Amino acid sequence: MFPAEDLLDCGEDVLLRGVGVVAGGAEQPLTGFAVHIKGQVVVLTLQSTVNRDHTMQRMEVLTVQAQSLDTRETVQDLRPACTLLTALHITLATLTIMKRRNVSGSKPPAKQISVQTQLDLNAPKPAPQPVHPQGHFPRDQVHIACWNLNGLRAAINKDPFAQFIKRLDLEVLGLNETKLQDGNIADIKRLLMPYFKFQYYACSQKKKGYSGVGILSKIKPLDVIMGLGDGELDVEGRVITAEFEHFRVVVVYIPSAGMGLKRLQWKVRKWNVAFHRFITGLMRRGKPVIILGDMNVVHRDLDICTKDRYLRDIPATTLEEKNSFTSLLGDQLVDTYRSLHPDGNDYSWYKTDVEFQRTQGWRLDYALVSASFLPRVIDSFMHDQVRASDHMPIEVVVENASDS
């Protein structure tokens, strides 16, 4: 991989995050490595992916820090580091400057450069993904998932999320509570582009680090609708719709009733009513709908663990929210999980790690379909062991066909 004389174990004076490094074709329990170049020590923090035969598949460079060989102080001249990265054929995805906290009382360190990127060590580069007709899925079955990540920028650095989006069979992924701003989207798209070529995001314009939804797809949709068409409600970035050949996918993050139920009446009398009207309008256009997302309600007793079934006065448990959800379903929409698993007691949200270990959760995330499309639904389930936030991903598998 690299000349052995260029690899040095990092000393104790170099602070690195825990990683795994592959060297010499086998995984080594190192915390990182440093390369001595032109009077500087360039410290790389790595994360590697290994094939089953222990050969290296890919290595991610998480951080790059250049230090003076004499003083061990961080230096701002990154030219040697960039020279190294260029020699290794590493493409810089993002380059940000962060201030390090001075905890020792000594001379404040210089700025630290953090680089997040990916290195593919298996040349030549993989062949480009095949191009399919717009809106058309190539397989007989379509896997569509949705995940409330409680912050996409935090989740993107977690292994469960990284492994989930690398699935070859996952065609569409909806995202809830991305907490992105418009200024974050270009960087996020660049990082996720190897897995989902077509990405659409709706961000909260109301406040930072709040709400937000996204649709990631390997197939270009025929059309994309942002929001409900209501300027007052759409400022929170809660709905995106993508149209494909045989159906429309709606990703929604329904508002919570809020602490002290402050938003309960607004939710059930205004937001939910507008969403119901929007879905009815979509269905009148002729294609069935598949609706996925965190709907912030426990509709039936089976959707909440036994110890919490007495709750009636906190968000997601009120009678008003349950009745509003029942009204949304009506006779036109079906809760796919409950239809296929009438006695199922799987949950998609856990308040704490302890409750997760005890399987004491709530089902807040749903996959709904047009009633006429239900025969095309093959399965609907929760990935109850995939954790990158307090929510688990949900998934629906459907036939690649219309409802007729």
The helix (run of H) or strand (run of E) holding residue 336 is helix 336-340
Q: Per the structure block, which two tokens stand in for 123?
A: 């040349």
Q: What is the pLDDT of residue 8?
A: 32
Beta partners for residue 380, in sequence order: 396
Alpha-carbon separation of residue 19 from 31, 33, 47, 62, 82 (angstroms): 5, 10, 5, 9, 21
Segment 44-53, tens digit of pLDDT: 555 544 455 4
Burial class (CB within 10 angstroms; exposed 0-12, middle 13-18, buried 19+) of 357: exposed
What is the amino acid identity at position 392? M
- What pLDDT score was predicted for residue 43? 56
pLDDT score recorded for residue 131: 73
Cis before residue 315, ω within 30 degrees of 0? no
* Per-residue model confidence (pLDDT) at position 390: 96
CA atoms within 13 A on the CB side of 156: 20
Q: Residue 371 has what pLDDT?
A: 97
Is residue 221 within 8 A of residue 135, CB to CB? The reply is yes
CB 368 within 8 A of CB 334: yes
The alpha-helical segments, DSSP class H, found in 107-259 are 152-155, 159-165, 185-192, 231-234
Cβ contact 152:59 at 8 Å: no
> How high is the pLDDT of residue 45?
53
Residues whose CB falls within 8 Å of the CB of residue 345, separated by 6 or more in sequence, listed in order: 302, 305
* Residue 391 annotated among the catalytic residues of the structure: yes
**Per-residue model confidence (pLDDT) at position 378:** 98
Token pair of 314 as six digits: 């906190």
Kindly give the residue spans of alpha helices, DSSP state H, lying in 88-174.
152-155, 159-165
The domains found in the chain, sorted by start residue, are 4-118 (no CATH), 141-399 (3.60.10.10)
User: What are the structure tokens assigned to 367, written together?
Assistant: 């996959």
pTM of structure: 0.70
Q: Which long-range contacts (CB under 8 A, 24 or more apart) does 93-100 make?
A: 93/117, 93/118, 93/187, 93/190, 93/191, 94/187, 94/190, 94/191, 100/74
CB atoms within 10 A of CB 289: 21
Ranges in the chain, pLDDT < 70: 1-130, 404
234 touches 273 (CB < 8 A): no
Q: Please answer whether residues 264 and 337 qualify as being in contact, where contact means their C-beta atoms are separated by less than 8 angstroms.
A: no
Tokens standing for residue 186? 């270009």
CA 8 from chain center: how many Å?
35
Dist. CA 108–CA 106, nearest whole Å:
6
- Take residue 165 and report the two structure tokens written for it: 């989006």
Q: Which residue among the candidates 143, 246, 276, 391 is catalytic per the annotation?
A: 391
Active-site residue among 253, 337, 350, 366?
253
Q: In this structure, are residues 222 and 134 in contact, taking their beta carbons and an 8 Å threshold?
A: yes
Residue 89 known to be catalytic: no
Structure tokens at 218: 């390997």
CA-CA-CA-CA torsion for 195, 58, 81, 189, nearest 10 degrees? 10
Query: What are the tokens at 30?
Result: 């190192």
272-283 helix and 319-329 helix, angle to the nearest 10 degrees: 10
Q: How far is CA 325 from CA 31, 44, 316, 348, 402, in A?
A: 50, 51, 10, 17, 26
